[in-house]
Amino acid sequence: MNGQAKAAPRAATGPRAAGVLRTGKLAPLNERLAKLGLVTDWDFILHLPLRYEDETRIDPIGMLTPNEPAQVQGEVLTCRMVETGRGQQLVAEIRDDTGVLALRFIHYYPGTQSNLKPGTVVRVFGEARPAWGGGLEMIHPKVRKPVASEETLPSALTPVYPLGENIQQNWLRKRIARALMDLQGMEDPIPKALTEPLGLPGLRASLEYLHSPPPDANAAALSERTDPHWQRLKFDELVAQQITLREMRTLAARDRAPELIEPAPGSPAELMPKFRAVLPFRLTGAQERVWGEIERDLAQSAPMHRLVQGDVGSGKTVVAAMAALRAIEAGFQAALMAPTEILAEQHFRRIVSWLEPLGIRTVWLTGRQKTAERREAIERIASGEAQLAVGTHALIQEGVAFANLGLAIVDEQHRFGVAQRLALSRAARPAGEADDAPARKPHLLMLSATPIPRTLAMSYLADIDVSVIDELPPGRSPIETKLVRLDRRDAVVGVVKSTCATCRQVYWVCPLIEESEALDLTPAVDCAADLAARLPDLKVGLLHGAMTSAEKESVMSAFTNGEINVLVSTTVIEVGVDVPNATLMVIEHAERFGLAQLHQLRGRVGRGAGRSACVLLYDERLSAVGRERLRIIRESTDGFEIARRDLELRGPGEFLGEAQSGMPMLRFANLETDGLLVEAARDAASRMLAECPDAALRLARRWFRARADLLTA
Ligand code: ADP
Ligand code: MG
C-alpha cells in the first residue's frame, strides 16, 4: 500500500508552516488518481481500506482512554487562536454531560474555525492525549459538520483509504461507494459450486464487507487478511492468475521449434565428445544433470523455455555452450545475449576458445561496433554462415534476422524484460515472414544467478521450467565477509596493500558516478586517484559506465592479465566478470546496494584457490532495512537463502519486477502464506476453463488486463 491516511492536512516543513494552509497548483484530479492506479470502477472497488474507524457509537468524554481512537459529541464552549512558540494554533473546547475536551489544530483550513462556533454541537473523532495543563486534548481530530441527533450514527465501520496527493478521504469514500453501487446487479464471477465448498462468501458481499464492515467485525482477521471475505478476494485473484497462465501455455503450445537431436555416434557432424575433450575441467554432477534436462528439451518439437539457476560461479556458461553446440551439431544457429558489453565480450572470448578449435564459426555483435563491422556480422547471421552469434541487445535490434536460429540463450536473464526475451525468439523468424505466421520459435535457455524462490517461480514463471545448478566447481574457497564502518577506510586501504603484496588482485566498487555529487557518494574517479596516491607501488585502474567500450575493454584485459592490481569500478562489473586471481572485493557505501547486487559483486571473488574476502564499507547513518541487508549478506553466501530473505524484506512485487516476470504481481494473495488457497485456485481454474470458458476469460481479463498485451507479443 502506498501513502498513509492522514487525519490532518499536511503542510510544508519548518516552524513557519504552522497556521492557515493554502493549497498550491495541482495536477488534474484524474492524473493524481491514475498515480494511485485508480482509473476504472474496478480499480476503485479494489482500492481497499488501510484500516477502519469505529464511528458507530459515541463515547462519553469522561470515559475516554488516552491514546485510543474514540468518537465524542459535544457542544463547543470556546474556539480561539493561541499564539505559541511554534506559530499560531487553533484551540477549541467541547463539553458533554460527562466532561470537557480540548481540540488542538496546529494546521487548519479557514473552514475549521467556522465549523467550531461556540454553541454548535459537533461530533469529533480522534485520539485523546493528556494535555499540557492537565485534562485531555485531541490533536487534529476529525470534526464532523454540526449534527442534530445521535440517530444519524453510521451502522458500519468507516473505511480509511490510502490517499494520494490532495485526494480527500471523504471524496474517495463517496467515489468508491458509487463504484460499489454499480456492482448491485453483478453476477458472481465464479460459480457457487466452486466457492461454497471452501466456505467462501460471494464476491459482491465480500467487497461490500471489506469496504464497510459491521461494528462487530473481527478486527484482527481484517487487518491480517484472514477474514473469509479477504480470502474470497484473494481466491478470485489467484484463480484469475491461474487462468491467465493456462492461456499463456495454450498459446505457447501451438508454437513449434526444431528438434535438436544428437547426431549419430561417429557421424561427421558430431561435436560433443570433441568439446568435452577440449574443456580444461570435468563438469560437476549438477552441471551434468542440468545439461541432461536441457538435452531432453532440445530434442522436442515444443520450444524449450528453461531457466537455469545457479549461484554466481556455479558454471552456467559451459552448460550454455553445450546447448549451443547441440543446436549447431543439429544444423541450426545459436545466439547468446548478455546484458552488458563486458559480459558479452567475456562470454565471447571464453566460448570462442572452446568452440573455435572445433571449427565452429562465431560472430560478435554489439551496438558499439563500427558500422561496417556490424553490417558484416549481421550479414553472416542472415546468410547462416555464422553458427553462433554472441552479443548484447544489438542482437535483437531492427534488421537482425537469423537464417535458422534453433536456440536463443539469455544470460543473466533477470536483467532483461520479457519483451526483450520475446524479441530474441522473434528474431528467429526468417526475414520477410509475416508477424502472424504460425509461430516457429527457437528453444529458449535463460541463465540467472538471482534465484527466484520456488513458490514464486511456480506461480509467476509457470510457463518456464527451472533447472538448478546447486553445486560449485571444486577447489573454491569460502569468502569471508566483513562489515567495516566508512571512517575506518584507511585500515581497509592497508588490507588492499597487503593483498596485492601476495600477487593477488583487488576490486574496489563505488556506487554511481554521475549522480555522485547529489548523493554525496565518493566518486569512482576521485577514489581511483586517491588509492593511486596512497598505493604508489600499485597500478590502479578505473572502470565506469561512461567509458567507451574500447576503453573498458583495455582496462578489463589489463586487469585479467594482472597488469592492474586494483580495479576501481562502478557497478559495471556486477555481473559475470571472471578473474580468478582477484581475492579481495571492497564495496564502498555498501548500504546503497541491494542484496542481489551485493551477492553478485561478492561473487566476483572466491573464484580461484586463494582465500578470498569481501569488505563492505558502510555509512553509519544507514536505515534499518539497510542494516538488515548488510547483516544478511554477512551471514550467508548462499544465493538462494539471500534471495529468500530479500523476498521477505521487499515483497514479491519489487523482488521480481513486472517487467521481468511478464506477470502482473499479486496484490492481495500471498504465495507463501496462502498456500491452500493457491491449490484450490488451481483446481477452480481448471474447472472454469472446462465448464465456463467465457466466464473464465472474463475473470482473467478483469484482474490482469495488462497481461493481454504481452500475450500477443
Ligand atoms: P556463472 O555460473 O557465475 O556464470 P561461470 O560460468 O562464469 O559461472 O563459471 C565460473 C568459473 O568456473 C569459470 O572460470 C569457469 O570456467 C569455471 N568452471 C565452470 N565449470 C567448472 C567445473 N566443472 N570445474 C571447474 N571449473 C569450472
Ligand atoms: Mg555467468
Neighbours of ion ligand 2 (CB under 5 A): 576
Cα separation of 224 and 234, whole Å? Answer: 13
What pLDDT, in 10s, does the model give residues 303-313? 898 989 888 78
Number of helices (H), then strands (E), in the chain = 27, 23
Cα separation of 407 and 401, whole Å? Answer: 13
598 C-alpha to ligand 1 centroid (Å):
20
Ligand 1 pocket, 608 CB below 6 A? no
Q: Residue 309 phi/psi, 5° resolution?
A: -105, 135
Lowest mean pLDDT among 7-11, 70-74, 400-404: 7-11
Cα separation of 257 and 304, whole Å? Answer: 8
Range ranked top by mean pLDDT from 28-32, 206-210, 633-637: 206-210
479 C-alpha to ligand 1 centroid (Å):
16
Is the separation of the CB atoms in 511 and 544 below 8 Å? no
State the virtual CA torsion across 164, 165, 171, 174 in degrees, nearest 10: -20
What pLDDT, in 10s, does the model give residues 593-617? 888 788 888 988 887 777 899 999 9
Ligand 1 pocket, 316 CB below 6 A? yes
284 C-alpha to ligand 1 centroid (Å):
10
* Res 150: pLDDT: 55
What pLDDT, in 10s, does the model give residues 126-144? 999 988 778 889 998 988 8
Could you give the 3-state DSSP secondary structure of residue 12? coil
Q: Which of 159, 167, 154 is nearest to 208 (CA)?
A: 159
316 C-alpha to ligand 2 centroid (Å):
6
- Atom 20 of ligand 1, residue of closest alpha carbon: 315
Is the separation of the CB atoms in 464 and 480 below 8 Å? no
Cα separation of 318 and 689, whole Å? Answer: 42
- Atom 23 of ligand 1, residue of closest alpha carbon: 283
What pLDDT, in 10s, does the model give residues 525-537? 888 999 999 999 9
Does the CA dihedral 588-594-600-606 come out positive or negative?
Answer: positive
- Atom 4 of ligand 1, residue of closest alpha carbon: 316
312 C-alpha to ligand 2 centroid (Å):
7
- Atom 15 of ligand 1, residue of closest alpha carbon: 315
* Res 515: pLDDT: 44
Task: Report how far apart, in Å, the C-alpha atoms of 472 and of each of 229, 292, 312, 454, 603 are.
Answer: 47, 18, 9, 20, 12
Task: Report how far apart, in Å, the C-alpha atoms of 500 and of each of 63, 219, 487 are.
Answer: 73, 61, 22
Q: Give the position, in ligand 1's atom list, of the atom nearest the Cα of 284.
A: 23
Mean predicted confidence (pLDDT) in 549-559:
84
What pLDDT, in 10s, does the model give residues 157-187? 999 898 877 788 889 999 999 999 988 878 8
What pLDDT, in 10s, does the model give residues 639-687? 878 877 776 766 544 444 443 444 445 778 876 677 788 889 989 999 9
378 C-alpha to ligand 2 centroid (Å):
25
Q: Give the position, in ligand 1's atom list, of the atom nearest the Cα of 469.
A: 2
Ligand 1 pocket, 309 CB below 6 A? no
Residue 483, H or E segment:
strand 479-485
Residue 422, H or E segment:
helix 418-426
* Res 432: pLDDT: 54
CA 176, 177, 178 angle in degrees (round to 5)? Answer: 90
Ligand 1 pocket, 600 CB below 6 A? no
Q: CB under 8 Å, gap of 24 or more: what pairs does 74-77 form? A: 74/101, 74/121, 74/122, 74/124, 75/119, 75/120, 75/121, 76/116, 76/117, 76/118, 76/119, 76/120, 76/121, 76/122, 77/118
* Res 525: pLDDT: 82
Residue 112, H or E segment:
helix 110-114
Ligand 1 pocket, 281 CB below 6 A? yes
Is the separation of the CB atoms in 402 and 395 below 8 Å? no
Ligand 1 pocket, 310 CB below 6 A? yes
* Res 711: pLDDT: 38
For residue 516, pLDDT beyond 70? no
Q: Which of 483, 506, 415 is nearest to 626 (CA)?
A: 483
Ligand 1 pocket, 599 CB below 6 A? no
Ligand 1 pocket, 126 CB below 6 A? no
- Atom 5 of ligand 1, residue of closest alpha carbon: 315
Q: Give the position, in ligand 1's atom list, of the atom nearest the Cα of 320.
A: 6
Q: Give the position, in ligand 1's atom list, of the atom nearest the Cα of 475.
A: 25
Buried b (16+ CB within 10 A) or exposed e, 304-340: bbbbbbbbbbbbbbbbbbbbbbbbbbbebbbbbbbbb
315 C-alpha to ligand 2 centroid (Å):
7
Mean predicted confidence (pLDDT) in 408-426:
67
- Please tell me the number of the ligand nearest to residue 322's CA: 1
Which of the two residues, 578 and 543, has the higher pLDDT score? 543
Cα separation of 125 and 5, whole Å? Answer: 14
Q: Which of 445, 447, 470, 578 to mutate to test the pocket of ligand 1 (most atoms within 8 A of CB)?
A: 578
Mean predicted confidence (pLDDT) in 492-506:
93
410 C-alpha to ligand 1 centroid (Å):
17
Greatest Cα pair distance, the chain, in angstroms, is 103
List the beta bridge partners of residue 124: 72, 143
Is the separation of the CB atoms in 32 and 162 below 8 Å? no
Buried b (16+ CB within 10 A) or exposed e, 657-695: ebebbbbbebebbebeebeebbebbbebbeebbeeeeeb
**Which residue reads 569500478 in cell numbers?**
569
Cα separation of 582 and 499, whole Å? Answer: 9
35 burial type by CB count under 10 A (0-12 exposed, 13-18 middle, 19+ buried): middle
Could you give the 3-state DSSP secondary structure of residue 441? coil
Residue 268, H or E segment:
none
